Every structure is written in C-alpha cells, then in structure tokens.
C-alpha cells in the first residue's frame, strides 16, 4: 500500500460520463414530525413550532427540515463550556454579529447523555424527562432550542424516537412533568447549531475578512450527528453528490478553504464517552492512528474542523501524548464555529479562546495572516485588568478589540 | 379461434417468450414496449453474457426477437406506452400512446411483463461512493465494459491489479426498504468474476458476501468453477465503506471467518446491485388495478402454485414484474402466462357461444 | 450448560444469569434494537472499539438473538464496557442496533450492582457525582494536570490561571469554575426531583456507596431549603 499520497480535494474531476444521483421514490422511514403532530392532536404533548424566519434544508431522504435563524434558546454543552469555552463563545459571537435575537439560559441542565453513554447510571425515563424539562423551559422562556453539542443532538433524536413509539414512556414522563409542574413539550425539530451555521454560511462568507483560500482543512463529521437516526442530518446535492452529510464541509467551502478528503472520513474520532476520561489509551490510540495520522499522510491539512464537543476534545487532546511516542501528529483542531468566527475577524483569544486548545494553533493563525502575538498581548491586557480587580469580567465589548 | 388479441406489455425476455407462445398457439398478440428496441434489460443495459450459459445476450435476445418479427399474428408497437384501460377482460379497451398519437385497442387479455429496474447505489445506506468515485461501478456498468471488451480502470484506463465484488447492494436491507433477495446477483457476480479472470489473468478478484446464493446447478457450474478453476477469492463479510487512499480505493469490512476488521486496497469495486419493481410495473399495476404484494411487486394468487395469475381476471404477469426472477423464471412464467391467457380467452368464447 | 467447552462464569447460578437476560429482553427498547442477524460484519467493520479491543458488536447481536444466556453473562462482565457508543454499527441492514443492545445490557449490569460494572466505573464516579449534583458533567476546575497529564501543556496553563481566565470569557453564563455554565438553582432542584422520581439516586447506591451518600445529602439539603421533602419523591417507574 502506498504511504505518501496526495489526496484529492472533495470534488475530483470525473473521467467517466457524469453520474448524477437523482433520488426517486418515497423515503423508507416515517416522518417524525407527522408523528409528533399526531400525538399533539391526541392531547399527549405540546409541539413547540420552529419560529420564523425559517430556512429549509434537505435531509438524507429528501425531506425538508426547518432551521430557525433567530429567537433560539441556546442549549449549551458541558464539554464546550467546561474546557473549550471558545467554542460556545464563538457560537454566541456569530449570532451577535448578525444582530440576531437569542437567549443564553441559566435554567438549562446538561442533557446528561455523556454520562448515560459512559456509565449507564440512568434510564430512558430519566433521560427523556431531562430532555422534556429543557424543552419545556425553552418554550416557557419563549425561545426555540438550538443544541450546541453533537452528543445532545444525537441523544435527543433517539429520545424523540422512544417518545414517539412508547406510550408507557410518555406516561412516565407526563407524571414526572406533572410533579415538576411543567408542561410536556417537544420541539418540532431538533436543531444542531452547525445546521444553523450551514444555512448561514453564505451570509458568514459575505462578511469574511480573513482570506482562507490557502487553508487546507480536513472535515470530521460527528458520529452522533449523522449516524444516530440517520435520516435527520443535512445532505446536499452539491456536496459529495448527496452521498455523505454536507455539514461542516458546506461551511469550509463557502469560506473558500479546501476540504481535503482522506480515507478515514467516516471513522469515529474515538471519544468513547467513558474512555476519553478513564480509558484514554483507546481514545488516544484510535484518534491518532485512524484519524490524525491518516489526515496528515493523505491530506496534510493546516487544520481539522469538526462540529462536536467530544470530537474536538478527542482529536485535540490525543496528539500531545502521541507526540511523545514519535507519532506523525500535529494538526490543530477547531470547531466550525471558531473557524467561521475567525473568518469574520473574531479575536483568536478573546472570542475563540484558542489558548484552551492542546495542539499549537499559532502556525495556523500565521497562515491565516492573523497577528497572534499582538492578539495575545490584547488578551493579556484584559486578563491583567481582571487580576488587578479593575475589571470583573471580559464583556462582549471588551472582546471585540478595535 | 378468437380474434381478440392478447396484449403483452413489455418486450423483455418474459414478454418475448409470451408473444411467441401466443402466436404459436394461433392467437393474436400485440406487443407494446415504451423503448425503441426489444429485448428488455439484457439489451438496454448492455448485458454481455447471460448467466449461467455464458451465451451472448445480444444473440440470445436477437433470436427471440426474430421469432416474432414478420409474424402475421404479432403486432409490435415500439415507443408505445399503455396509458389507460376500461372495462373487464375479455372486453378490455386499452389506450396506447405513441408520441402524440393515442389509439384505443380491444383486447381479450393482458400479460404484464414490465420487468425490473436495477437498484440505484445512491440509495444504499452503506458508504459506497458510487457517485463520488469513478472506479466504483455496478454489475450493469461491468456488463457494458465486458461487452465492449473494455474492462479497464475507469480513472486511469489501465488494467486493474485487484478488484472486488460486493454482494447484496440494495437487497436484503430493512433500512433501504428492499428486504428481498434479488436472486441473480450472486450468479451474475460469479459469472463476471470468471469472465474477468479469463481476460485479465494477472488480476486478483475478490467477492465479499453474506451468503453465496447459487441455486441448483449454479453451485458447481459457476461457484465452484470460480473458486477452483479461476482462483476467485470469496471472503465472507460485507464492505461498509469505500474511500479513496491515494490512487486506490480502500474497502473496509470485517472478515467474519477470521473475526477481524479488514481494509483492502482495490483498483475497482463492482457493486452487485439488486432488482427493484420498475416504474412500468408500478404504473401498470395502477392502470389495471393490480394489487401489489408487500415488497411492491405485482401480486399473484395461489402462491407457489400459481405464479402468473393476478387478482384481476384476465390479467396475468410474467417475469420480474412479479418479484425477483432469473432468466429461466422469466421464460417459464412467460410460457405459463400464455397458457393461462389463451385458456381464459377460450373459456370466455365457449361461454358466450 | 453452555455450548462452549471453555465457557466462563459457570459457577454463577443459571437463574441469576437468566434474570439479567430477561431484564434486557423486557427493556422497552429491545424490539427496536434487535431483529435477526445474518452475520454480514458491517457493524464490526465500522466499529472503532473492534479495532482496539477484543470486542465485536456482531457477537453481541448474535448471542442475544440466539438467547445464549451463558455467553450473554460473559459479555456482560468482560466486554460490554469496551463499546464506545458511537453508533456506527447502526449501518446494520437488518436495523439491529448493537450499541443500543449494549446500552440496555449496561443498564442491567448497573442496576444489579455487578462487580464488573463497579470496576469499570471506579475511576469515573466523581464525574457521576458532578453531573448528578450540579447539572453539568465537566467543570473547569476538573482540568488539573494530575488528572489529565496526557492532554498537553495547555492543561497546566489553564489550571494555573483558572480564575482569571474564566472571567476572561465574554458569555455571562460561563463565569464559573465549579460548573461548566451557571446552572440556576431552580433547574438543579428540578433535576434532583427527576433523579428521585426515576430511581436514579438509588441506582448510584449499588455502584458507589460513598458517592451515593454525599449525593443524597446534597440533594436532600437543596430540596429542604426549598420546602420539599426528599422522601415525597418516590420512584414513578415502579408504579
């Protein structure tokens, strides 16, 4: 097998007569929205409708999914907020740049799916109740849930299936909601923030101030985004001929960067939920050998872009120890939100909080033409003001250094 | 003898056999086909050699077409579709459309032989990349290449070093919704493997399968032959992903015999795509109000004991329009349908006499 | 009697194994997670854990479909915790969900307080405490070099500057070091009610008694502060 290979960019020129995939026939699955509306009609639950303005996207079998542009309730991610704060910050920053109405709630609990997949110290009723509680809170707050984490997204899709198919579960959830004095609410769509970024990508590109044309990326799609409840993921005829999910690749291309293909595109990152915390040899080995080394060998990207907390964590944090073993690593890892924010001129440290990342991303910033030394100086200046007590917290105004 | 013709819809193997049978028995046949050439999938999809006899498809179909050409009892209508039907057999009034021309014909009985369509790999839930990678082809593409004596790597034009077949593409799958086995793909893949090993003796050929369905004489005539005489490698384990690694395709599967994940570079991958009900089948079912069975093919009455009678009296089905069928099935059903259609006409004549 | 000569755990009473097996089979998700298996190997091909561990999702699907109780018990102890819950195995053409089968098996192992489950979760229990008591799973103050020495030099830098750096993040809800984001008391209260109403607090007792005791205290206190009695919240799943 060849080792040093130049992988082609996503669209390779075809040498055979053009094959164009045209989907015919009806989808092989039921429409979950119809099922939810049926339950609502029977009085079993309330469906929280997606608020206007809406953009429709196509999902795997050609159905249309509604994506809200604003009036969203930001369902935050444990890992992002815990150790990749630039990820959540970038999502909010993007909304603020476009002047969109959003709400960042304190009345939000973790989806607790990370824990459930890691340890099974829970059960479907608890998981469903936690989901419904968050959704009910969002409806009460008057905003539509936008999910920040891929794990939450996948888990909520799974929960939706269980709620639709099991009357006994609905009964249990209803009794719990009654005790909490909250309504049984379920959203019309479960929307991941990267889907919002996907529909906003051309508007983001319009405001791009950093040139990405010399940036080569590799894209890593999150397993829980497109492998759990496969129908509910964005597919686009223009990207991968509608054969692979278009998420993240759409943004990368819209920003003028290259999404280079590699042979382990479909592989999991190796997060493992429990493994990343307490059996790290698995996560580290898998991530290094199957993902990072392959990307390096075949695509040699400047950065790898993904759209889930676990994936950013695993890909970013596995490379340090691997380096000690002389492995071929060293690709900075960014979320699509941070990538988009940088394109629009966001501060690499005040907004993207790149100092919380493992792999050195300064070479990437240099290639993007961003003066990271100056930027770090600006961040440190604010940090000093906080340390001295002059400033309590960095505000959004402080973050956008002019 | 009745002068009312029997309408045969679809000029593939089943339809051709039926048409000849009708004429041989002295009845009139109207053969309708929406394309401009007879022969069905074997001709329109450029099949090279038929399974299992290895006879040239073009020659075999040519022979069947010759048998009905210039036959005073056969009225062949190409580029013609059936767009409506009124009444009940034996007094059916069927509307035929040819371009902008419409004509209503009186027919006594109908044989629907609208065949199947090949599964489109874009609908597959595994990641085969048919629309992304030139070198991933289907059995149909391979047949055409074999017929044109051009079995080379599409992206480079060179001889392949290593190729593989992946079985059950679009069949036996609950996620796609095609839960049936398409019956012929194992045989066709083996046949093609033999042909390829003959013309490219340096090329290694693999077949990735779940089960090798080699009915009857196919077992030793094609399967054992492929394994023993032609050194085709059969590996039990289906591929889940095809990605590109440099110039090669990388297929990823589990070798279930060894119980280990495997990743093998290939120059070409042939997807053994299955059968689906054709558009013509679904349309004719609607036109003649023929119930479909649970997989979407035309339903027959009587299970194994009656393979050609539909639920509508006087309307019969032959070939893959009723479900996955190989060539022998289609020919046999064509004959059986003729027998029943003619008997139907005779009985109705005797009754009205 | 197992069909295998080298079967393990043959000293464990069959009734015990059967009881656990039936629990998994009675799980409401079972019928959507397991149909039949024709051993195509797609699940193993896609599985990351299969490449690293002696683990096979296909084996899980086969053993459950065969209702081989003895081998089920082996898997429940030896390899059920290897699965990385990525759900790549849902490519299964029969629509089996080996990851889902494993999740149900783990649920049963945890409920039964099995030693192998305790062992697998021993290092993990402080995370359980964090998520159940605070409503977020990882907090900035957990980013300590002694817990994550292999994650890189950034961990040390973060730990040293934690307080200042957490204040140097614009979103208001992120201005905390003990939680991922600032979770309101109301939400924590509701979360505790959910844990009690679904029997989840009691579940922890079987896994780690120490964590359970601290958790119960913390929950009882908050409920009490808000005028609730923890004992009023009985497990609705048992009704």
A211-227, pLDDT tens digit by residue? 999 999 999 999 999 99
Give the pLDDT confidence score for residue A26 in this predicted structure.
Answer: 84
Instruction: Give the contacts of A300 (CB within 8 A, at least 6 positions apart).
Output: A216, A260
Size of interface A-B (CB pairs under 8 A): 66
Neighbours of B26 (CB within 10 A): 10
Whole-angstrom Cα distance, residue A158 to residue B308? 44
Q: What are phi and psi of A61, to 5 degrees?
A: -100, 20
Angle, nearest 10°, between helix axes A193-206 and A85-97? 50
Question: In this structure, what token pair is assigned to residue B205?
Answer: 């050929």
DSSP state of A188: S
* Chain A contact residues (CB < 8 Å to B): 1-2, 5-8, 12, 14-16, 19-21, 23-25, 28, 230, 240-244, 261-266, 298
Q: What are the strands, taking DSSP E only, across A5-71?
A: 46-48, 54-58, 64-68
For residue A13, what pLDDT band results from cuts at 50, 70 and 90?
Answer: low
> Which residues from chain B sit within 8 angstroms of residue C95, using beta carbons?
174-175
Strands B315-317 and A216-220: unpaired
Instruction: Give the contacts of B150 (CB within 8 A, at least 6 positions apart).
Output: none
Q: For chain B, which chains pass the contact test of at least 3 CB pairs under 8 Å?
A: A, C
C10-46, pLDDT tens digit by residue? 999 999 999 999 999 999 999 999 999 999 999 999 9
Is it the case that residue A206 has pLDDT exceeding 70?
yes
Strands A72-75 and A102-103: parallel
> Which residues from chain C sit within 8 angstroms of residue B210, using beta carbons?
38-40
Give the pLDDT confidence score for residue A15 in this predicted structure.
Answer: 73
Q: What number is the ipTM of this complex?
A: 0.96
Q: How far is C86 from chain B (nearest CA, A)?
A: 15
Furthest CA-CA distance within chain B: 76
User: What is each CA distance from A106 to A148, C176, C196, in whole angstroms?
Assistant: 15, 12, 22
Residues B300-306: what's their mean pLDDT? 91
Whole-angstrom Cα distance, residue A378 to residue A350? 8
Please tell me if residue C58 touches chain B, with a CB cutoff of 8 Å. yes
Question: In this structure, what token pair is assigned to residue C67?
Answer: 């209702």
For residue A21, what pLDDT band results from cuts at 50, 70 and 90?
Answer: confident
For residue A180, what pLDDT band results from cuts at 50, 70 and 90?
Answer: very high
Is it the case that residue B2 has pLDDT exceeding 70?
no
Whole-angstrom Cα distance, residue B193 to residue C39? 24
Examine residue B307 and say whether the peptide bond preceding it is cis (omega within 30 degrees of 0). Answer: no
A301-360, pLDDT tens digit by residue? 999 999 999 999 999 999 999 998 999 999 999 999 999 999 999 999 999 999 999 999
What is the total residue count of chain B? 353
The 3-state DSSP class for residue A251 equals helix
Cβ contact B174–C40 (<8 Å): no
Whole-angstrom Cα distance, residue B160 to residue B204? 8
Give the pLDDT confidence score for residue B3 in this predicted structure.
Answer: 79
Among C56, A155, A391, smallest CA distance to B259 is for: C56
Cβ contact C84–A356 (<8 Å): no
Cβ contact B134–A15 (<8 Å): yes
A365-400, pLDDT tens digit by residue? 999 999 999 999 999 999 999 999 999 999 999 999
Give the pLDDT confidence score for residue A1 in this predicted structure.
Answer: 38
Question: In this structure, what token pair is assigned to residue A64?
Answer: 């249309």
Whole-angstrom Cα distance, residue B213 to residue B181? 9
Question: In this structure, what token pair is assigned to residue A31?
Answer: 């429409």
Is it the case that residue B90 has pLDDT exceeding 60?
yes
Size of interface A-C (CB pairs under 8 A): 267
DSSP state of A9: B
Examine residue B52 and say whether the peptide bond preceding it is cis (omega within 30 degrees of 0). Answer: yes
Give the pLDDT confidence score for residue A2 in this predicted structure.
Answer: 38
B123-170, pLDDT tens digit by residue? 999 999 999 999 999 999 999 999 999 999 999 999 999 999 999 999
Q: How far is A230 from chain B (nearest CA, A)?
A: 9
Give the pLDDT confidence score for residue B172 in this predicted structure.
Answer: 97
Nearest CA in chain A to B242: A263
Rg (CA), chain B: 22
Among C83, C156, C106, C90, smallest CA distance to A286 is for: C83
Nearest CA in chain B to C93: B173
Question: How much is the pTM?
Answer: 0.94
User: Considering CB atoms only, which of C85, C123, C161 is closest to A117?
Assistant: C85
Among C218, C148, C150, C183, smallest CA distance to A81 is for: C183
B234-248, pLDDT tens digit by residue? 999 999 999 999 899
Whole-angstrom Cα distance, residue A235 to residue A227? 13
Residues A133-161: what's their mean pLDDT? 97
Size of interface B-C (CB pairs under 8 A): 64
Please tell me if residue C38 touches chain B, with a CB cutoff of 8 Å. yes
Q: What are phi and psi of A386, to 5 degrees?
A: -70, -45
Give the pLDDT confidence score for residue B201 in this predicted structure.
Answer: 97
Nearest CA in chain A to C124: A278
User: Considering CB atoms only, which of B120, B177, B245 is closest to A28?
Assistant: B177
For residue A20, what pLDDT band results from cuts at 50, 70 and 90?
Answer: confident
Is it the case that residue A9 has pLDDT exceeding 50?
no
Give the pLDDT confidence score for residue A402 in this predicted structure.
Answer: 67
Q: For chain C, which chains pass the contact test of at least 3 CB pairs under 8 Å?
A: A, B
């Amino acid at each position: 097998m060849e080792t040093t290979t130049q992988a082609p960019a996503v669209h390779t020129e075809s040498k055979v007569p053009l094959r164009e995939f045209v989907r015919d026939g009806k989808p092989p699955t039921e429409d979950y929205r119809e099922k939810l509306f049926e339950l609502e009609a029977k009085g079993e639950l309330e469906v929280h409708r997606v608020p206007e303005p809406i953009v429709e996207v196509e999902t795997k079998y050609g159905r249309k999914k509604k994506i809200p542009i604003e009036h969203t309730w930001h369902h935050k991610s444990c890992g992002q907020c815990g150790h990749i704060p630039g990820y959540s910050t970038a999502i909010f920053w993007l909304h603020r740049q476009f002047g969109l109405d959003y709400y960042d709630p304190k009345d939000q609990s973790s989806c607790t799916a990370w824990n459930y997949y890691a340890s099974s110290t829970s059960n479907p009723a608890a998981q469903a109740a936690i989901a419904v509680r968050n959704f009910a809170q969002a409806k009460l707050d008057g905003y539509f849930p936008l999910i920040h984490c891929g794990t939450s997204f996948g888990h909520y899709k799974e929960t939706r299936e269980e709620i639709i198919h099991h009357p006994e579960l609905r009964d249990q959830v209803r009794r719990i909601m009654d005790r909490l004095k909250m309504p049984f609410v379920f959203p019309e769509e479960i929307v991941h923030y990267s889907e919002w970024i996907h529909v906003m990508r051309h508007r983001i590109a319009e405001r791009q101030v950093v040139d990405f044309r010399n940036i080569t990326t590799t894209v890593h799609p999150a397993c829980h985004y497109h492998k759990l409840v496969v129908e509910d993921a964005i597919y686009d005829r223009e990207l991968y001929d509608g054969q692979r999910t278009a998420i993240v690749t759409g943004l990368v291309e819209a920003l003028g960067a290259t999404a280079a293909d590699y042979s382990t595109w479909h592989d999991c990152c190796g997060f493992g939920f429990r493994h990343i915390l307490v059996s790290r040899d698995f996560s580290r080995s898998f991530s290094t050998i199957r993902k990072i080394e392959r990307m390096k060998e075949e695509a040699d990207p400047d950065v790898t872009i993904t759209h889930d907390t676990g994936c950013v964590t695993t890909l970013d944090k596995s490379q340090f120890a691997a380096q000690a073993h002389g492995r071929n690593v060293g690709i900075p890892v960014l979320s699509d939100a941070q990538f988009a924010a940088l394109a629009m001129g966001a501060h690499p440290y005040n907004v993207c909080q790149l100092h919380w990342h493992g792999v050195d991303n300064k070479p990437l910033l240099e290639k993007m033409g961003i003066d990271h030394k100056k930027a770090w100086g600006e961040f440190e200046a604010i940090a000093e003001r906080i340390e001295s007590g002059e400033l309590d917290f960095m505000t959004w105004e402080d973050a956008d250094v002019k | 003898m009745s002068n009312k013709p029997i309408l045969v819809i679809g000029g593939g193997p089943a339809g051709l056999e039926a048409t000849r049978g009708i004429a041989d028995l002295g009845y009139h046949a109207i053969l309708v086909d929406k394309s401009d050439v007879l022969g069905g999938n074997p001709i329109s999809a450029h099949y090279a050699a038929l399974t299992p006899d290895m006879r040239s498809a073009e020659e075999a179909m040519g022979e069947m077409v010759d048998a009905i050409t210039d036959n005073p009892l056969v009225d062949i209508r190409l580029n013609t579709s059936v767009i409506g039907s009124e009444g009940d057999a034996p007094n059916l009034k069927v509307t035929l459309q040819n371009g902008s021309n419409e004509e209503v014909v009186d027919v006594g009985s109908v044989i629907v032989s609208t065949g199947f369509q090949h599964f489109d790999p874009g609908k597959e839930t595994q990641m085969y990349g048919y629309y992304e990678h030139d070198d991933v082809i289907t059995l149909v593409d391979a047949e055409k290449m074999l017929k044109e004596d051009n079995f080379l790597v599409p992206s480079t034009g060179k001889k392949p070093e290593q190729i593989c077949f992946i079985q059950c593409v679009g069949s036996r799958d609950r996620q796609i919704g095609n839960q049936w086995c398409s019956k012929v793909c194992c045989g066709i893949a083996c046949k093609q493997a033999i042909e390829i090993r003959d013309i490219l003796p340096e090329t290694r050929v693999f077949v990735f399968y779940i089960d090798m369905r080699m009915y009857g004489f196919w077992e030793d005539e094609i399967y054992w032959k492929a394994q023993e005489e032609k050194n085709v490698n059969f590996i039990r384990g289906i591929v889940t992903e095809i990605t590109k690694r440099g110039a090669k395709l990388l297929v990823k599967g589990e070798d279930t015999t060894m119980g280990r994940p495997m990743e093998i570079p290939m120059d070409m991958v042939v997807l053994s795509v299955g059968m689906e009900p054709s558009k013509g089948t679904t349309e004719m079912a609607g036109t003649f109000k023929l119930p479909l069975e649970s997989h979407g093919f035309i339903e027959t009455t009587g299970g194994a004991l009656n393979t050609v009678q539909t639920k509508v009296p006087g309307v019969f089905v032959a070939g893959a329009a009723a479900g996955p069928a190989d060539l022998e099935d289609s020919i046999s059903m064509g004959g059986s349908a003729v027998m029943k259609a003619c008997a139907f006409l005779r009985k109705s004549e005797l009754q009205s006499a | 009697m197992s069909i295998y000569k080298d079967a393990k755990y043959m000293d464990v009473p069959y009734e015990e194994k059967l009881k656990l097996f039936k629990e998994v089979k009675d799980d409401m998700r079972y019928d959507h997670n397991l149909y039949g298996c024709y051993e195509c190997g797609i699940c193993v091909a896609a599985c990351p854990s299969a490449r690293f561990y002696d683990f096979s999702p296909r084996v899980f699907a086969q053993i459950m479909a065969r209702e081989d109780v003895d081998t089920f018990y082996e898997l429940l102890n030896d390899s059920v915790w290897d699965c990385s819950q990525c759900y790549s195995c849902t490519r299964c053409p029969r629509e089996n969900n080996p990851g889902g089968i494993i999740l149900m098996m783990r649920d049963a192992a945890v409920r039964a307080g099995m030693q192998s489950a305790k062992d697998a979760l021993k290092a993990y229990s402080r995370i359980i405490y964090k998520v159940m008591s605070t409503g977020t799973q990882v907090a900035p103050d957990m980013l300590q070099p002694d817990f994550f020495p292999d994650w890189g030099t950034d961990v040390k830098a973060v730990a040293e500057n934690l307080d200042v750096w957490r204040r140097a993040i614009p979103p208001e809800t992120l201005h905390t070091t003990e939680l991922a984001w600032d979770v309101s008391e109301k939400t924590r209260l509701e979360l505790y009610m959910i844990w009690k109403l679904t029997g989840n607090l009691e579940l922890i007792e079987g896994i780690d008694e120490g964590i359970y005791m601290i958790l119960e205290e913390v929950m009882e206190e908050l409920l009490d502060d808000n005028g609730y009695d923890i004992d009023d919240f009985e497990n609705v799943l048992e009704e």
